[in-house]
Structure 1
Amino acid sequence: MGRVLLDVVEEHLDEASWHWLQRERAVCAPDFDLTETAGVEERLLSHVDGLVEAGPDVVEGFLLPALAPDDPCRASVAALALLEGGEAGWALLLEKGLGDPELRPLLRAPLSLAACPALDLRLGALLGTDVPELLAEVVGTLSARGTLSSEVVARLLQHEDARVRGSALEGALAASRQEFRTTLSRMLSAKSSVPGASLIEAGLVHGLREAWGACERAVEARESEALVLWALGGGEKDIVRLVALLDLEPLRAQVLWALGFSGRVEAADACLAWMEDPKMAALAGEAFCAITGLRLEADFILPRTGASEASESFEEEDLDADLTPRPEDDLPMPRGGAVAAWWKTVRADFAPGQRYLRGRLMDAAVLLEGLALEPMRRRHVLARELALRTRGACRVQTRARVGQQRAMLQRVASSRVQIRLQSPLAQALG
């Protein structure tokens, strides 16, 4: 391989690694939508194509050395290029990647994104492994790709290893199956521990009444992952209970996040009250706007310098604060007084007992529009609501390739499945 080609391949690998990181951030970002994410993804895949087109010499010289856990983005790109490169690449990835416990967790995303046609069959051949960690990853990957059979799910829901059962629950979310109900019901009714959110969600998809009782137990136990499910499915009294949890400082951020998906006017009131708190203001503003439709711009936001000063002031008081960048760090800081004045003029237009998304009464069309246009980080929860309200009949995999997501949205829009979003979820459970 000539020097010039070596330089080109190195550039493809570096650029692809950068764009992989940008896509990972975009998928959870509050300021990226599906169209903007498509642009990032297109640039990533063009560099991956460049690695594949450079030929087999790239595999030994660049891709295999890049399969190292110390650089997750580079390893993920190398794995995706190997998968897109054909049978030989798959065999090497199986040997060098899935067999390495440190590297294995990094392969879920590239395995889920890969477009090679025989991948599901190749992954399915690994379902007979007796290594629980590997089995859990394979099951989780097939679940993410939407290709795990119901027979395998039913069997693995009863696996002795908790990691495998957890991955099988991802497959159980794909659709309501009669053969899952008995097992899920038994798991939900176990009194030894508070059910995890994945188990509760699977139970709700399958219409099990005990799933809502398990969700209530999880909320009472202050399990933060259950708060969103409670907000999505609860009635007015349930949202009042959720608002009360704002008094608990360790849960406050998760409660505000959940309230934004409730769509309730009472939740908007509660969020408004936290817009003067420098630590919670951005999250409160995001949730408030998701319900009311207010756009945080112009006079409704603090200037960047003001937001920075508030953040710096908080950090000076909390020397142990985690300074790792978070998606919510990119949210605008609301000007609480201006938002409160606006809310005073429009609050009467919002009816108690109704659910709203961006100021519109929530129905199927509004939900689907939200899945197409909402910020990327909020779409994951909206997709969960779609699955819950349709018993798994309608799903949008919000981490799949953008083209696949748009095709999923089109299929949902063309379906005749009824989606009722105003009534509490518990009313539809058997």
Structure 2
Amino acid sequence: MGPASRESILGGCQHISRSGDGEIRGSQAKVWGGRGPPASRGTLRGSSVGSSDAAEPRRQLFREGHATLLPAQVRGEHGHRLFGLLQGSGVPAAHCRLHPRRLPGEPTGHPVRGGCALFLRPPHSGMSHLMPLPSNGPLPEFVSLHFEEASFLWALRRRAVHASHYAFADLERIDERIEAHLDGLRISGEAARSIIDEALSVAGMGEIFTVAVSALDTAPAVRLLPALELARESEPGLEAFLAALSWLPWPRVAGVLSQLLGEEDPALRRMALAGYAAHRQDAGAALSRALSSTDAPLRARALQSVGEVGRRDLLSFARQALTSEDEACRFSAARSCALLGDKAPVPILRSLADQGGPHAAEACELAVRRMDRREAREWLMGFSERPDRFRLALLGSAALGDTFFVPWLLRMMRMPELARAAGESFRFITGADLLERPLEGEAPEGFEVEDDPDAELPWPAPDAVEAWWNERKGDFHPDARHLLGQPMTSESLRDALRLGLQRERKAAALELAMRHPGQPLFDVGAPCFRQRQWLAA
């Protein structure tokens, strides 16, 4: 295979890193974006690589023979598939070097799925037009690429965690790709550190995440301080730094989180409590002290942690906070009480939902899960008669899982502005796949909405969906609560955690926590290696 084809493979590998979830298969790479529309999918074959303007400088560097790091995380039983693909394309073995790395939580004895393939020219290849390998390591352009891709992919992941069309397997692919680029930074030494230092001056959330992970993972502690100072300037920055603390295994971050708990700044203590909760670790006396803090955001975070880590011994503190003047504290207290099996917060949750504030949607979903069936039906029926509360009724009916609301959902599917949300609630209860024909419909001609909240949801075909339901409604017990077409049992909820889409997985996690008070809440946004450990427990 000639140099031109090898250039195309390099371009294809770089293209895969930004074009959805790519998987190398022999000489073909398929690219797709989660469960997105067909327009986001493409196929790369041989030299038929999408040639964007951004990819051309990378190919030029390839032609000049510089070293480059390629993400080599590929799935399946052959963990070195990208390495083999390079060799199979005519690149001699002496030109490639593989740095395998076992992904966090990956059991020993299995093929290595993560790492970076280093492509370089040997010093005496007989190719007079190629430049020698730089003596100071990999080229900065490609180290920058790893930094940019890790930052970009984390920002993508941040949205995917709450998206309607991502499953656990989709999220896991993103995690593996992030980890592969982080590996590229880990083995790049000083070249990575200089790029990270430069990035601090213009860092967004994704860049703060990458800088913080790199500092926590490989750099001296002094390099963590600039990232922390940058993060504490804003709530999004603290969120990104927290994501970095959550990304790495507990032993690597336990010391940092313990130090942050002792800081005077309430924002840093709040982030530390969130970090302990993300790892489902008990913050001990620090959590109890935070429950009495005069800083409302810190107190709200502590109240949230009580339910997330299953501290039933602190339930009395949460009950006392149900009357707090601060709405965030009141909601966090009600949420934790509900997770710990208490029905006392139902009036508070109903009130928060009725007010329509920032916590209305989640308060509605939690309230119906703690109500008696008749009470929940009557409350949601009141919403279903008020156009300004239709969406809350849709969310509540999905959370309740009651087929009593299916006829109303079918009517809502005929209203363009609510059709897709009604279809999602219908799927929650019945398990119907509205992406399959004939259940999938078309958008009404001329229908446009700015900032469309349902943009990722499929359009249902109301007549076909109603026919589907009429054929199958006899399979559903009218007195059972359902999720994805199955009566809610511990077994079916665990199946939903493994196989459902992210919003469905979140619903299953809430149900399991409420059915087993004191059990930590399963975090469907946690790094996937940790989720796999929890699922296997």
Compare the two structures and name the one with the higher helix fraction.
1
After superposition, give the CA deviation of every residue in 1:279-327 in whole Å (9 maximum; x if it has no partner): 111111111012112221111111xxx32x45x4243xxxxx335xx5x
Partner of 1:421: none
Partner of 2:254: 120
**Does structure 1 retain, via aligned residues, the 8 Å contact 2:307–2:520?**
no
Q: Given the alignment of the two structures, is residue 216 of structure 1 paired with residue 350 of structure 2, yes or no?
A: yes
Larger CA Rg, structure 1 vs 2 = 2
CA distance in structure 1 between the aligned counterparts of 2:483 and 2:329, rounded to whole angstroms: 29
Partner of 1:32: 166
CA distance in structure 1 between the aligned counterparts of 2:256 and 2:520, rounded to whole angstroms: 27
Partner of 1:97: 230
- Select which of 467, 471, 478 maps to 1:341: 467
- Select which of 441, 458, 461 maps to 1:332: 458
**Aligned amino acid, residue 29 of structure 1:** A
Partner of 1:258: 396
Partner of 1:299: 438
**Does structure 2 retain, via aligned residues, the 8 Å contact 1:30–1:376?**
yes
Partner of 2:13: none
**Does structure 2 retain, via aligned residues, the 8 Å contact 1:72–1:106?**
yes
Partner of 2:381: 243
Partner of 1:270: 408
After superposition, give the CA deviation of every residue in 1:251-286 in whole Å (9 maximum; x if it has no partner): 332431332121111132322221011111111111
Worse-matched range after superposition: 243-252 or 106-115: 243-252
Q: Given the alignment of the two structures, is residue 372 of structure 1 paired with residue 510 of structure 2, yes or no?
A: no
Cα deviation, residue 366, structure 1? 0.3
Cα deviation, residue 192, structure 1? 8.3
Equivalent pairs counted in the alignment come to: 397
CA distance in structure 2 between the aligned counterparts of 1:365 and 1:151, rounded to whole angstroms: 35
Worse-matched range after superposition: 254-263 or 355-364: 254-263
Cα deviation, residue 189, structure 1? 4.1
CA distance in structure 1 between the aligned counterparts of 2:352 and 2:180, rounded to whole angstroms: 45
CA distance in structure 1 between the aligned counterparts of 2:271 and 2:202, rounded to whole angstroms: 16
**Aligned amino acid, residue 343 of structure 1:** W
CA distance in structure 2 between the aligned counterparts of 1:193 and 1:95, rounded to whole angstroms: 28
CA 177–121 in structure 1, closer or farther in 2 if over 3 Å, else same: same
CA distance in structure 1 between the aligned counterparts of 2:317 and 2:172, rounded to whole angstroms: 39
**Aligned amino acid, residue 399 of structure 2:** F
Q: TM-score, structure 1 length as denominator?
A: 0.84
**Does structure 2 retain, via aligned residues, the 8 Å contact 1:132–1:161?**
yes
Worse-matched range after superposition: 278-287 or 113-122: 113-122
After superposition, give the CA deviation of every residue in 1:324-357 in whole Å (9 maximum; x if it has no partner): xx5x312110011111122122223322221112
Partner of 2:507: 381
Cα deviation, residue 13, structure 1? 1.3
CA distance in structure 2 between the aligned counterparts of 1:333 and 1:295, rounded to whole angstroms: 11
- Select which of 76, 93, 100 maps to 2:209: 76
- Select which of 369, 389, 403 maps to 1:232: 369
CA distance in structure 1 between the aligned counterparts of 2:472 and 2:502, rounded to whole angstroms: 27
CA distance in structure 2 between the aligned counterparts of 1:391 and 1:164, rounded to whole angstroms: 24
**Aligned amino acid, residue 206 of structure 2:** C
Q: Given the alignment of the two structures, is residue 355 of structure 1 paired with residue 481 of structure 2, yes or no?
A: yes
Cα deviation, residue 37, structure 1? 1.5
After superposition, give the CA deviation of every residue in 1:18-74 in whole Å (9 maximum; x if it has no partner): 322332232222222111211111011100111121113422x21133235763223
Alignment partner of 1:152: what SS? helix
Structure 2: state its 5+ residue gaps: 1-134
Structure 1: state its 5+ residue gaps: 316-320, 412-430
CA distance in structure 2 between the aligned counterparts of 1:69 and 1:261, rounded to whole angstroms: 42
Q: Given the alignment of the two structures, is residue 391 of structure 1 paired with residue 525 of structure 2, yes or no?
A: no
CA distance in structure 2 between the aligned counterparts of 1:4 and 1:90, rounded to whole angstroms: 21
CA distance in structure 1 between the aligned counterparts of 2:155 and 2:393, rounded to whole angstroms: 28
Q: How does 1:125-144 map to 2 (within 5 A)?
A: 125-144=259-278
Cα deviation, residue 128, structure 1? 2.2
Pick 1 or 2: higher relative contact order, CA cutoff 8 A, min separation 6: 1
After superposition, give the CA deviation of every residue in 1:224-246 in whole Å (9 maximum; x if it has no partner): 33111023233322133113213
Partner of 1:404: 530
CA 243–82 in structure 1, closer or farther in 2 if over 3 Å, else same: farther
CA distance in structure 2 between the aligned counterparts of 1:2 and 1:258, rounded to whole angstroms: 59
Partner of 2:44: none
Cα deviation, residue 86, structure 1? 4.1
Worse-matched range after superposition: 191-200 or 375-384: 191-200
**Does structure 1 retain, via aligned residues, the 8 Å contact 2:212–2:244?**
yes
Worse-matched range after superposition: 365-374 or 377-386: 377-386
CA 231–117 in structure 1, closer or farther in 2 if over 3 Å, else same: same
Q: TM-score, structure 2 length as denominator?
A: 0.68
Q: Given the alignment of the two structures, is residue 281 of structure 1 paired with residue 458 of structure 2, yes or no?
A: no
CA distance in structure 1 between the aligned counterparts of 2:223 and 2:239, rounded to whole angstroms: 17
CA 182–338 in structure 1, closer or farther in 2 if over 3 Å, else same: same
CA distance in structure 1 between the aligned counterparts of 2:203 and 2:191, rounded to whole angstroms: 23
CA distance in structure 1 between the aligned counterparts of 2:273 and 2:514, rounded to whole angstroms: 21
Percentage of matched positions with identical amino acids: 25
CA RMSD of aligned residues (A): 2.6
CA 343–101 in structure 1, closer or farther in 2 if over 3 Å, else same: closer
Point out 4+ residue stretches in structure 1 off by more than 6 angstroms.
Answer: 191-195
Cα deviation, residue 3, structure 1? 8.5
